[in-house]
Amino acid sequence: MSVKKEKQTTVSSVDKAIDILIALGQSDIKTIRELGQQLDITKSTLHRLLQTLESRGLVKKDITTDKYSLGYKILELSSNLKKENEIRELAIGQMEELSRLTGDTVQLAILENNEIIIIETVEGTNTLRVFAQPGQKYPITYGNFGKVFLAYQSTSNIVNHINATPLLKYASATITDQEKFIDEVNEVKKNNISVGIDDPIEGAISMAAPITDSNNNIVASLSIAGVKTQQKISEIEKFKMYIMDYADKISNELK
């Protein structure tokens, strides 16, 4: 009973915090009194929520007027969302074309706060195919995506990431030895592509290539994944050309 009550209180607090952000986003800066009257939140609760939001940079307080407004963290979050949407909109047509060409599932991922986030997926058309969905999150050391993103970082940073996020055994061919993993990342850096057979998905062939901006900074990674067959293994060089070509096409649209 007590657990249920605590859960409801937590949700209620989140609702109130969201109401505060919406209120500050809809009009000019406001005092605690003005916010309390508009939102029907007690002064003590409102003060506590505002302190929390301020500590996270989501709201800011003018010390001369005691009025609150949205913080710069909101701008940062909206900027990140805008960037993700721009990349997704530029990439989706190429992703659909690549999926039709290969019959495989195509994914687009970004790196945010050292975490891989799948922001778009086009499901494959082959009878046997790998299923995936957008919104999934993985550690930076995960699979082909991880190696592609890490290929744009220094060896010391890679070691730091491995120490923070230990290498996990996702499938039979997954490398968990640090030295071998770094060697593979260096190969990705040299060849501009990461290929995995039974890694990170058992029974699948997957590969990923970087998407870069005009300064050659990596902004996203494009991946294809399909069920492992003898035919696909024999045509792996062709599929590597496909993924690199389409990653380049998307990169060129960003420049």
Instruction: Reduce the DSSP state of residue 93 to 3 states and report it.
Output: helix
Q: Does domain 80-254 have CATH number 3.30.365.10?
A: no
pLDDT digits (tens, 9 = 90+) for 78-94: 666 666 778 888 899 99
pLDDT digits (tens, 9 = 90+) for 232-245: 999 999 999 999 99
Spatial CA neighbour of 90 closest among 243, 244, 220, 242: 220
Cα gap 63→81, rounded to integer Å: 30
> 194 pairs with which residues across the strands?
208
Fold that domain 2-70 belongs to in CATH: Arc Repressor Mutant, subunit A (1.10.10)
Cα gap 251→138, rounded to integer Å: 23
* Domain ranges for the chain: 2-70, 80-254
pLDDT digits (tens, 9 = 90+) for 158-211: 999 999 999 999 999 999 999 999 999 999 999 999 999 999 999 999 999 999
Task: Check if the beta carbon of residue 207 is closer than 8 Å to that of residue 194.
Answer: yes
